[in-house]
Amino acid sequence: MATTRPRRRGVRRAFPILALVAVALGVSIAVGPKPSSGGNAGTAFAAASSDAATPVATAHPTRSPRPSPTASPTPDPTPAVPVVVVHPPRPAPPSLTAATRRELQLRLDGIRTKYALPGISATIILSDGTSWVGTSGLADVAAEVPVRPETAFAIASVSKTFTAALTLALADEGRFAIDDRVRTYLPDLDLDRRITIRQLLDHTSGLRDYFFHPRIDRRLLARPDRRWDEARALRYVGTPYFKPGRGWHYSNTNYLVLGLLAERVTGRSLGEELRDRFFEPLGLRHTWYQPTDEPTGPVAHGYRLTGSGDDVRAVDLTDGSSMTPFTSVVTAAAGAGAIASTSTDLARWARALYGGEVLSGAAFGEMIGDAVRTEQYAPAVRYGLGVQFVEVGGRAALGHSGRLLGARSVIRWLPAEQVAVAVLTNQSRTDPGIVARALLRIALRPATDCDCGPRR
């Protein structure tokens, strides 16, 4: 395998990610040395993509280079550190006038039509707590059931934000330390003894993604109604991408193992932990872990789109169960991508998680600050502990994206503006980041006193 050297870790390279970290934490920064005092990537399941207008679609996820042979085997945690100066002033929030709401719905309908999406749901929450919820299209094409605000979709890899938060919460309680070795708690798994919990969280473990095994798609689609367990999924993990701590490569295997870790140290199912810690306390009434819990409302079918132009056909992937898009892929995804939710619940989750309401200050700092550690490997998407760092319309944003066959989703939190957006679709061809950007351009326009109708 050919490798290249990582980018230099100096101040010039570190500054962009440090700026994003600082915005996430609500501070301005100065950069300096540490003080001395101290896709269609795989048919059934695709890796989270960047927020690019044209998503990467390749049979092999983008690899990040190994460090040079002289580099430390684990990422240097302190190439540069943010120095707190002041909290930046916040601009006056935009306003969701009647005209703005109409324009948002028209834009949502237009995008759905342009890309021939079966159904879509979107929610925006502004800094003052006001929100807009828009739906368009069908949750069930054959039965002509429309998408409603309470319609849930498979959220795919956005599930990782919940698994990461749970892992950090357990570490905060002293169940383990995130730099502990995974084999200490899961000795029965055939894992490299050097892999740490942190390396699972930030995708530096080197574990190969089981969803990219050449035979797994055929097996999942041959029996879509078959329930998988983690042991069956782990049979499809191939040779490592690299030695632990020597590179960055997005891998669903990391979060499958994190789900097993949470169950081992708590003695409870992953669904129970997520429900008791996050879903119920935060009032996420239409969010559930599909392998073990029943739906709490209507569920959108997942669709594979075939054809192009005016000849697009939506192929229903349902297996007749309540799981969306279908049982085999959902149960195989487990802690990496098995949650279903509504756009409203996910926007509220993004606001709570990245707004600092879910984790302790120390745990949230670990989640965000780890992006400085992974930056030396030039990841395909800047990544912390279960969080992506992207820009949306020139604005710094946190969040995650996800894709299963028949479902694609994205959540974004704009820390400077204190705005959350979630977009869910029941297809896997078109990037919902396109929708999020288009809607935010409308929602974040400066407020005016004129309710003059939508702009042309």
If you average pLDDT over residues 31-55, what whole number do you get? 34
Q: Kindly state the tokens that stand for 416.
A: 């400077």
pLDDT tens for each residue of 280-328: 999 999 999 999 999 999 999 999 999 887 788 999 999 999 999 999 9
Q: At what angle do helices 11-25 and 361-374 cross, to 10 degrees?
A: 160
pLDDT tens for each residue of 374-402: 999 999 899 999 999 999 989 999 999 99
Higher pLDDT, 386 or 7: 386
Phi, psi of 63 (to 5 degrees): -95, 145
Residue 23's pLDDT band, with cuts at 50, 70 and 90, is low
Residue 43's pLDDT band, with cuts at 50, 70 and 90, is very low
Q: Are 195 and 205 in contact (CB under 8 A)?
A: yes
Question: Looking at 289-293, 355-359, 388-392, 447-451, which range is the least confident one?
Answer: 447-451
Q: Are 405 and 44 in contact (CB under 8 A)?
A: yes
If you average pLDDT over residues 315-342, what whole number do you get? 97
Write the DSSP symbol of residue 31: E
Closest by CA position to 455, among listed 104, 121, 122: 104
Is residue 71's pLDDT more than 50? no
pTM: 0.83
Is residue 59's pLDDT more than 80? no
Is residue 27's pLDDT more than 60? no
By three-state DSSP, how is residue 389 classified? strand
How far is residue 451 CA from its own chain's centroid? 36
Closest by CA position to 291, among listed 209, 342, 228, 212: 228
Q: Kindly state the tokens that stand for 3.
A: 């490798």
Q: Are 224 and 328 in contact (CB under 8 A)?
A: yes
pLDDT tens for each residue of 111-170: 999 999 999 999 999 999 999 999 999 999 999 999 999 999 999 999 999 999 999 999
Q: Kindly state the tokens that stand for 296.
A: 């709490």
By three-state DSSP, how is residue 302 classified? coil
Taking CA atoms, 365 is separated from 82, 278, 324, 354, in Å, by: 11, 19, 34, 11
Taking CA atoms, 132 is separated from 103, 122, 129, 345, 434, in Å, by: 11, 8, 10, 13, 18
By three-state DSSP, how is residue 145 classified? strand
Q: Are 410 and 158 in contact (CB under 8 A)?
A: yes
Residue 24's pLDDT band, with cuts at 50, 70 and 90, is low
If you average pLDDT over residues 258-280, what whole number do you get? 98
**What CATH code is assigned to 11-92+152-443?**
3.40.710.10
Angstrom distance (rounded) from CA 322 to CA 340:
11
Question: Looking at 310-319, 399-408, 424-433, 445-454, which range is the least confident one?
Answer: 445-454
Percent of the chain with pLDDT over 70: 77
Taking CA atoms, 149 is separated from 95, 122, 200, in Å, by: 21, 9, 34
Whole-number mean pLDDT of the chain? 84
Most distant pair of Cα atoms in the chain: their distance: 66
Is residue 7's pLDDT more than 50? no
Closest by CA position to 119, among listed 409, 421, 329: 409
pLDDT tens for each residue of 246-257: 999 999 999 999
Residues 6+ apart with CB under 8 A from 1: none
Is residue 93's pLDDT more than 80? no
Residue 95's pLDDT band, with cuts at 50, 70 and 90, is confident
Rg over CA atoms, the chain: 21
Domain map of the chain by residue range? 11-92+152-443
Angstrom distance (rounded) from CA 264 to CA 113:
46
> How many other β-carbons are positioned within 10 Å of the β-carbon of residue 172?
15
Is residue 258's pLDDT more than 80? yes
Burial class (CB in 10 A: 0-12, 13-18, 19+), 183: middle
Burial class (CB in 10 A: 0-12, 13-18, 19+), 185: middle
Higher pLDDT, 204 or 3: 204
Predicted pLDDT at 46: 42
Residue 21's pLDDT band, with cuts at 50, 70 and 90, is low
Predicted pLDDT at 252: 98
Q: Are 382 and 17 in contact (CB under 8 A)?
A: yes
pLDDT tens for each residue of 207-243: 999 999 999 999 999 999 999 999 999 999 999 999 9
